[in-house]
Structure 1
Amino acid sequence: MYAKRRLPAVEPRVLENAWYYDATVARLVGGPGKSAFDGITRFDARVVDGAVNGAGAVARHLGGLVRRSQTGFVRAYAALIAVGAVALLAWFVWRGWLA
């Protein structure tokens, strides 16, 4: 219960150094953290942005293909419907569903 000598207080030293927050952040950001952050930046630039740009390029390409098929002539649309109906009928016959 009683001590021969007084123990040094830890709290004032820790509080004077602001819980060592600044030193810890400086060590993390300046050292291994910087390498990790650089790696994350490269990953974002190459993989994430690449996927987004790739999806946009695919949508642009498919839009160009669809644009060609839109002639504005009803006879072209009717011909496409007829070809699709014949293909569907042939598929049903081939599978044996209409036999």
Structure 2
Amino acid sequence: MTNSPANLPPRFLRTPEAARFLGLSGRTLEKHRYFGTGPAYRRIGGRVVYSVDDLRAWADLGTKYSTSDPGQDDLMPRRDSSIVQSRR
């Protein structure tokens, strides 16, 4: 078997595929992108794409080893976002 482009796994995933990879809805991933709390992404040819490595790294931010492990806080919109300010 050769490594022709047809045999290579995708290096970048578009939003629906990235969301499925993370077990999220596409809308949730879009909100994280909007608020700046999501995984790193790129724009290639006008399309938003995510690398699998970036998705894994972002998911690893939430790794905890016990219920008492403070770890990384849950990912929420930044305090200075318009959504948070409108809820006050």
> Is the structural similarity TM-score above 0.5?
no
For the pair shown, the structure with the greater C-alpha radius of gyration is 1
Give the structure with the larger strand fraction: 2
TM-score where L is the length of structure 1: 0.26
TM-score where L is the length of structure 2: 0.28
